[in-house]
Chain A
Amino acid sequence: MIDPVTASRLQFALTTIVHIIFPVMSMGLAPFLVYFTWKDIRTGKPIYEQLRRFWTRIFAVSFVVGTVTGIVLEFEFGTNFAAFSTTAGELFGGPLALEGMMAFMLEATFLGIFVFGRERVGNPLYMVSAVAVGLGTWLSAVWILIANSWMQTPRGYELATENGQTIVHLVDPIAAYANPRFPWMFVHMQNAAVESVALFMAGLGAYFVFRHHVWGYPVENVGFWETTLKFGLLALLITAPLQVLHGDLYARHIVETQPQKFAAMEAVWETDSYVPEYIVAFPTSIGDLLDPRAKDIFGIGIPGGASWLASGGDPQASIQGLNEFEGPQPPVAIVFWAFRIMVALGFWFILLAVWGGYRWWNGELLEDDLLHKALMASTPLGIVAVELGWVVTEVGRQPWVIQDVLRTSDGVSPGLTGLEATATLAGFAVVYLGLLALYTYVVVRIVRAGPPDVSTTDVDRPEMPASEVGADD
């Protein structure tokens, strides 16, 4: 039997980690679908109809699984974190309600038209539906991230005690909802979603291009996959450098607002100056893996890099160590390694983009088998990086559920028993892992089935650098 606090935390972690995959797919696909629909309507070229219909299928499955897994998350605040819900409801409930009314409704109703209505409605309404679905997925992230960013950098509230319970009262809605963390989170998250889908597209495209051009198996619709590869690569060229750029600014913001989290990301225990940033870190013993301390890690680092990062340009700057914070610490190993791997992936994606862009420029995109293999292996890595980023964000702020206001352990439902919490945790482990397997299976089937047959006219391929192609990113 697991105690209710641990079981609730594990359950929330599990359900979020699985759920986030599906919104990432739909948020990332949204701009592509809007573009494909627009081109399909305007040019009538078969390739755009194929792209639209193929990716709409993936979008639709992602949306369905995202819906069923997401409803659970909303209700988990009430079932497992009732004390948190009572304390923070006044600030936290509003964004969730607005997400439902403003974003989810828009997305879900117009998705019906977008998926099933091509033959039923005229071009203008069909285009409006594509935009509405895309807008809905992005607005959904706005409200969720407003709620989440408030937990990271709470503002605009007052504390009161009512019936022995701490209650957060909203006093300044603008400070609370336009809070300083929100823009960083939103930009970093949305760009990450598009980047993840770009990697997914490039990887799938590379697989079929590789089979056809390198291995010589005839692949039906190879033109479709070549175009997919190019769209993926182009979007990657735009998103990958941006991701690292605002990631760096975001990290500096964390130093200012959540120094404990930053110290955990860098595994700095004692306050120190001239702290290096390890680009590649090797644990010298198993103990360093489980209990990393920046000083004991062997790695290739930029001297003063972490100080430079934290201060925005001063390699001598001092970084506040974990030992200066009272009370429990976040699980440093998880935060440290998740952050490291995420950053490494971020640089890997830039390398891939530049490599692929260079080959494309020289007209060798279809022949470079090593590039194809690298892209294939990277197909799911964008989503992996997103997961790691959320681990840094959420695990890094522990022990707080609302930074400096409410501890996670104090947010759990008071009446919850270990038996109940363990039973539902076990149930959800089975159901969510099953959902993930099922989703993967269905996506693989959709990919195997390939693009739908439209007309047999030759496909149109974007040329590099096709400025029109990147218009929506």
Chain B
Amino acid sequence: MTDPASLATDPLFGLPLADLWFGLLFFIFATFLFLDGFDFGVGALFATREDDDEREQLLSAIGPFWDGNEVWLVVFGGAMFAAFPAVYANLFSRHYLLMFAILGALIIRGLAPEMYEQRHDEAWQRWWGRAFVVGSLAAPFFLGMFTANWLFGATTIVTLPGLVVGLAVVALTVVDGVAFLRLKTRGDLRDDLRTDGFRALAAYLVLVVVTLGYVYGAAPALRPALFSAPITALVLATLVLAGVYAAATRADRYYVAFGAAAGLVFSLVGIVAGLMYPAIDRAGGLTVETAIVSTLPLNLMSIGAAILLPLVFVYFAVLYSAFSGPIEAGESY
């Protein structure tokens, strides 16, 4: 252990904490996008199911999980606030209306399943079902727009890469949602979902290619990073993982497909982070080194995160193992 007095002056164990927090921030974002991503995907797929019983299964599948999944977004915000307050302030105030669109979509998305279950008459469930679908599509779309604007340093809200990345993230959440639902459901529903997964995967790959083409053609500042070893590796990983996902889905290897979906999400976020580094707010002119907080709070936060994040993974392991396997009928309060 380092000497307590040196906490104020030297980084903990001499670690490159600014870079570590940059990585941690995107790791938290990717975890959120993967976990809440399948909740969004389930919401989008809800639109394709007419049967009441199937709809109930979709809601039951995410019931115990979505709250915990969404907390990763809160942790993302908190971590950015704690480690890079200037980025937190600049980025969110610059994307003012887009942030509120994201928050609005998340409100609708979070509320709808809870409300849907409160009453069992047709009109009520029809409207809350629609709200669930709209919120589940809008949240990842706006999040994708936000991510693209952040990466490209856009100062306006609606940009071409923003729209493309928005759609890509929606497609990816559907891929993710299918992988999750195939773990949690049985019978016809499980088989039907396979096609939805393939279509979403194809759309996702096309949109990723378009985005990378845009980086090459229209974002000269990012072009050198595009051909760096890590980004090339992550792009190749995306292709491989897509192949694994498709093969595993065809062969009913549910857990392999789910793992591949996770890999796809982490690869995408990795590509974004890799293209961005060493900037962390291109439009605000901030780099990782200039935006990081001073040594003392950074050390304290690092100790906190090093203790707490492993614990959080324990909670998730307990939760997911308690509800492992396909959902049973009639699970409730």
Contacts and interface: CB of A to CB of B under 8 A. Distances in A.
Contact size range, A: 35 or more
Given A415-B94, A438-B111, A100 B74 contact: yes
B93 A82 contact: yes
A78 B309 contact: no
Interface string A105-132: 1101111110111111100010000001
A397 to B, nearest CB: 21
A445 to B, nearest CB: 6
Given A93-B83, A424-B100, A105 B75 contact: yes
B331 A119 contact: yes
A442 B110 contact: no
Given A78-B81, A117-B322, A89 B86 contact: yes
Contacts of A442: 115, 118
A173 interface: yes
Contact of A420 (B97, B106, B107, B305): B97
B315 interface: yes
A78 B91 CA distance: 8
Nearest to A445: B118
Given A82-B92, A415-B93, A68 B297 contact: no
Given A57-B333, A64-B110, A101-B305, A85 B88 contact: yes
A420 B331 CA distance: 44
Contacts of B323: 112-113, 116-117, 120
A64 B67 contact: yes
Contact of A170 (B74, B79, B92, B297): B297
A290 interface: no
A56 interface: yes
A268 B328 CA distance: 65
A116 B184 CA distance: 15
A99 B309 CA distance: 12
A37 interface: no
Contacts of A77: 81, 88
A435 B107 contact: yes
A104 B74 contact: yes
- State which size class the interface on B falls in: 35 or more
A99 B78 contact: yes
A108 B64 CA distance: 9
Interface in A68-89: 68-72, 74-75, 77-80, 82-83, 85-86, 88-89
Contacts of B92: 75, 78-79, 82
B114 A413 contact: no
A438 B127 CA distance: 14
Contacts of B301: 94, 97
Contacts of B82: 89, 93-94, 96-97
By DSSP majority rule, is chain B's interface helix, strand, loop, or mixed? helix
Contact of A93 (B74, B85, B104): B85
A86 B86 contact: yes
Contacts of A109: 67-68, 71, 312, 315-316, 318-319
Contact of B308 (A71, A88, A101, A112): A101
Interface centre among A77, A125, A420 (most CB of B within 10 A): A77
Contacts of B331: 116, 119-120
A14 interface: no
A112 B86 CA distance: 35
A64 B114 contact: yes
A90 interface: yes
B300 interface: yes
8 contacts: A60-B333, A64-B110, A67-B71, A89-B293, A93-B297, A97-B82, A109-B319, A117-B64
Given A90-B293, A100-B75, 14 more contacts: A60-B333, A75-B92, A82-B90, A85-B85, A86-B85, A93-B78, A94-B297, A104-B74, A105-B308, A106-B315, A109-B67, A170-B296, A424-B97, A435-B107
Interface of A: 53, 56-57, 60-61, 63-65, 67-72, 74-75, 77-80, 82-83, 85-86, 88-94, 96-102, 104-106, 108-113, 115-121, 125, 132, 169-171, 173, 413-416, 420, 423-424, 427, 431, 435, 438, 442, 445, 452
